[in-house]
Structure 1
Amino acid sequence: MAAVEPGLRVVGATNTGSGFDDVLAIERTLTPQVVIALCGPLGTPLHEVAQSFKDLLLSTDYGYEHVEIIRLSEEIRSRVGMASNSSIKELIEAGNDLRREHGNEVLAKLAVRKISVARAAEQVKAAAAKKAQHPDLFNEEGDDDLVPNVTLKWCHIIDSVKHVDELRLLRSIYGEMLYVVGVYSPIEMRIARLEGVLKNEKIHELIDRDSGEEMDHGQRVEDTFPQSDFFLRVEKTTDSHRLSRVKRFLDLMLGTVIATPTVNERAMYAAFSAARNSACLSRQVGAAITSEDGELISTGWNDVPKAFGGLYQTEGDGLNSDEDRRCWNMGGGVCSNDQEKKAISNYIVDKLIESEIIPLEKKMRLCQLLGGKLNLKV
């Protein structure tokens, strides 16, 4: 399972003309109530998963009194005045236009505002109820500031997050009250599902576009999905399969039952733990090999080889790293892989300009596009 730094804060979330103030939003939306954000590639049954969350939370097993699904696709349609039968391609382009005009986190801002308005309305209702029951607590003019704390069990489900900046804003506001669920289905199931609902649209092209567009304001599910807190694999089309997977997550999240890790979860935990052994600035990836019964056989991780054999590892008290000649300990901590990729991308751009295929004034833009595709900071 993915781990995300608990202190993650939003980057670049300023008021970019969307009519929504970030600081005020944070002040008004700090809440003990639960927010669930879903993220998944195109073709995944996100709407059905969201409805499963809602149905279960409202059941007697969990006893939530208010559960609302916020579909960001509907927020896009409402914002730009799109018809309900607009194509996925049109919807993607409209979302991209909103991000370009108002900032990459604009859709998350709209969701936060909707949650804030709902909570404000509930505060007014709660104040009115308290005033009716205890009029002696209020002065003759009526003190609207004496608003009781809302104790209702509420949950808002955001369907769905498509950009990492949206996720950053949500985490900066809701902190530990936010649960990000990455929903995944096998590609064959996703294609079959899309073929059943889409007409005259290039499915594979849409899937690639949804995964990760080259422009910064485009959809970036490829970058956002791995930062989920929990991964929900939906590999069957039956309601019972989907409900059982969602229920297990809710039991873990709310602590309603004792649920021990599955074989796959134990293996992923071992792999993630192994990745922490690496200090490679290019990528930190761990792997675990288990038997069919889940017995751990071996673990490994990406790193550079150590001179004369083996891998680098912390020894003794961990205070002496003089002999560690990996990138992080040499030359100020610059990744040699990134340096090489940057040199290659700059060479390509220079050759394109030299051949007059692109004008000189577009050099910076092309470098940014190549750098984003290669995960470089240029």
Structure 2
Amino acid sequence: MSTVIFGYILTEEPEIIEPLFLSLKLDTSKIKEIHARSRSQKGNQEFTRLVKDKDSFKSKDAWFYYVNFLIAAANEFRSHLGTKYSSLFQTLGDNIRHSGSPTSNSICSGELFSLASRVKRLALSCREHDIHNGTASTRIVIDAVRNPLELVYLRDQFAAFFAFAITAEESHRRSRLTEAGMSKRDIDALDNREYSKKSLTSYDNFVSQNIEECIQKSDVFVNNPGTPDSIEQNKLVLNRQLIRYISLICRPGLVTPTHDERCMQLAFAAKLNSGCISRQVGASISDANSSIKAVGWNDVPKGQVPCLLRDSHRLIHGDDQLAFSDYEKNNSELRNQVASSHKNAPMIRIRRGLPCPFCFKDAYNAVTKKPNQVHTRSLHAEENAFLQLAKHGNSGIAGGNLYTTASPCELCSKKAFQLGIREVIYVDPYPGISLSHVLRSGPEEFRPKLRLFQGAVGHAYHRIYEPILPIKDEYSARLGDDPDPTLI
């Protein structure tokens, strides 16, 4: 993606790009030199035509230019920028999604998928290049998709699309960035821009990076472990995972799912039951033999109406006596807060035919002016799974595993510790100190082990593990083929 962003710079005139670089206090001489060199390269005109014309898809010469010049030029420019690279390219990417131009952040909603659309056209030009050279099939890796809407767009455009989330333990990730020359302040700024929870009340958050949401939308999770001094030794771990899933994509049903995948798939399926409008989370609990004992999802207690089905209009006008608590119905400050923050809700109902739910925690915190995670209506997914065991009898989960689509908070971590959970397998780190504090206390032998999940989930779980034909039928057909004498 960064190379495609760099391509925007080379297809703009130097005098248009220069003010942006000067405003960021960057030396413009290097980009001018690369810009001048790009004009003489084979395929430059075809590449410019391809990326400028949104209806143009076929140009083998454009792909030749991309592979033989643009990638090397982008790497050269990245080396020149050093630690300024990330912040600059984040700004360029945000500008492109805002306006279609790397130099302007003026909002033009029709350009939201400008960058992803260019990636699509380049992928199709790669296919055209391969067809011209007699290649039977084309396989492409699109690296570093960090905007969730772009991920959805690409999945919609390519039927054979799989989103891989390459994850690493937080301490390993930060140590690698430090080794690359980034200061703690730079790393914190990078995380704040790419990873912090974003409210879509701002259009800027539609166009910015949101790795947390991209991880949640991914199909396959690959763990890339290792501190800088051990990363070479851990490449084998990474390569084995990649070989497994690429093989399964090419030939579904080659092997069966791992027990981790089976258990996490149930957690991912469970989270869709959640009526939380902020974040859906799922969890499953297995015994020591990987047999599922309980599943849970974040939702309100049994008998209460989930937030998804509570219309703010009905609270304000008092015409729903079952969905809202006595506190909500009788507290004028809270009702006024909801009325103020949801003043456009009637237009959503009229224009779209949609009710407009609200988050009680957000409304309560706005009234009290105290950010607090306790005042949520929902039980956590892990908590609900533990309570299922309490309701129906704990059939021996000591030494078992907790699978969760988001690492457990402090409260749920304490419950897991108390119940004797052996391992906590999670997808996405939850902000807080549960991983470093609650689960890292007491005698070592009693501490649950923490492990990032690796494997396929969701729709991809079925796509790669369901064989296209029954295995017996496939091999019956293959055994009937005439043997190649050169292979005997």
Q: Distance in 2 between matches of 1:256 and 1:344?
A: 49
| Structure 1 residues 346 and 332, CA gap change in structure 2 (3 angstroms) | farther
Partner of 2:124: 116
| C-alpha spacing 1:116/1:276, structure 2 compared with 1 (3 Å) | closer
Distance 1:244 1:191, change over 3 A: same
Q: Which residue of 2 aligns with 1:161?
A: 145
Question: Does residue 106 of structure 2 align to residue 84 of structure 1?
Answer: no
Aligned residue for 1:335? 357
AA in 2 matched with 1:285:
V
**For residue 191 of structure 1, what is the aligned residue in structure 2?**
174
The normalised TM-score by structure 1 is 0.54
- Within a 5 Å distance, the mapping from 1:362-377 to structure 2 comes to none
1:261 to 254, 257, 264: 257
Change (3 A) 1:278 1:164: closer
SS at match of 2:162: strand
Question: Are the counterparts in 1 of residues 195 and 209 from structure 2 also a CA contact under 8 Å?
Answer: yes
Q: Which has the higher contact order (CA 8 A, sep 6+)?
A: 1
Counterpart-to-counterpart distance in 2, 1:199 and 1:276: 39
Q: Give the helix-richer structure, 1 or 2.
A: 2
C-alpha distance in 2, partners of 1:169/1:213?
A: 21
Three-state SS of the structure 1 residue aligned to 2:301 is coil
CA contact (8 A) 2:56 2:121 kept: no
Query: Which secondary structure state, in structure 2, belongs to the residue aligned with residue 209 of structure 1?
Result: helix
RMSD: 4.1
CA-CA distance at 1:111 after TM superposition? 2.0
Distance in 2, matches of 1:83 and 1:256, equals: 38
Q: What is the rounded CA distance, in whole Å, between the counterparts of 2:73 and 2:197 in structure 1?
A: 18
Q: CA deviation at 1:182?
A: 0.9
User: Matches of 1:182 and 1:203 in 2, distance apart?
Assistant: 20
The answer as to 2:266 corresponding to 1:245 is no
Identity of matched residues, %: 23
How big is the shift at 1:262?
1.7
Report the Cα distance in structure 2 between the residues aligned to 1:287 and 1:117, rounded to whole angstroms.
Answer: 42
Among 209, 213, 216, the residue aligned to 1:219? 209
Decide which of 97, 100, 125 is 2:98's aligned counterpart: 100
Query: What code does the residue aligned with 1:95 have?
Result: G
Task: Note if 1:304 corresponds to 2:300.
Answer: yes
Unaligned runs of at least 5 residues, structure 1: 1-17, 30-68, 127-150, 312-323, 349-378
Q: Deviations over 1:184-236 (max 9, x none)?
A: 11111101111111255622322232214863222121222211111112224
Partner of residue 220, structure 2:
230
Letter in 2 for 1:225: I
Could you tell me the TM-score, scaled by structure 2's length?
0.43
Match of 1:152 in 2: 136
Alignment-derived partner of residue 170 in structure 1: 154
Higher deviation after alignment, 114-123 or 258-267: 114-123
Match of 1:180 among 157, 163, 172: 163
Q: How far, CA to CA, are the matches of 2:263 and 2:305 in structure 1?
A: 24
Other structure's SS at 1:179 match: coil
SS in 2 for 1:156: coil
SS where residue 182 of structure 1 aligns? strand
Q: Per the alignment, in what secondary structure is the counterpart of residue 95 of structure 1?
A: helix
Deviation at 1:239, TM superposition (A): 1.9
SS of the equivalent of 1:300 reads strand
Q: Distance in 1 between matches of 2:305 and 2:116?
A: 46
> How far did residue 82 of structure 1 move?
4.7
**Structure 2 CA distance for aligned equivalents of residues 123 and 183 of structure 1:** 31
Structure 2 residue ranges without an equivalent (≥5): 1-49, 60-65, 101-110, 199-203, 307-320, 325-352, 370-488
Aligned equivalents of 2:72, 2:98: Cα separation in 1: 16
User: 1:204 maps to which residue?
Assistant: 188
What CA distance in whole angstroms lies between the structure 1 residues aligned with 2:245 and 2:74?
31
Kept in 2: contact 1:275–1:286 (CA 8 A): yes
Q: Encode CA deviations 1:120-177: one digit per residue, 9 max, x unaligned.
A: 3344455xxxxxxxxxxxxxxxxxxxxxxxx612211111101122213212221x21
**Superposed CA offset, 1:83-127 (max 9, x none):** 53313222322322333331343332332222222223344455x
Q: Secondary structure at the match of 1:154?
A: coil
Alignment of 1:14-163 (within 5 A): 20=52, 25=57, 77=74, 82-86=77-81, 87=83, 88-102=86-100, 103-125=111-133, 152-163=136-147
Which whole-Å deviations, capped at 9, do the CAs of 1:295-347 have from their partners, x for residues lacking one? 2121122222234x999xxxxxxxxxxxx9669xxx96432426x63686699
Instruction: Kindly state the Cα deviation for residue 76 of structure 1 after the two structures are TM-superposed.
Output: 11
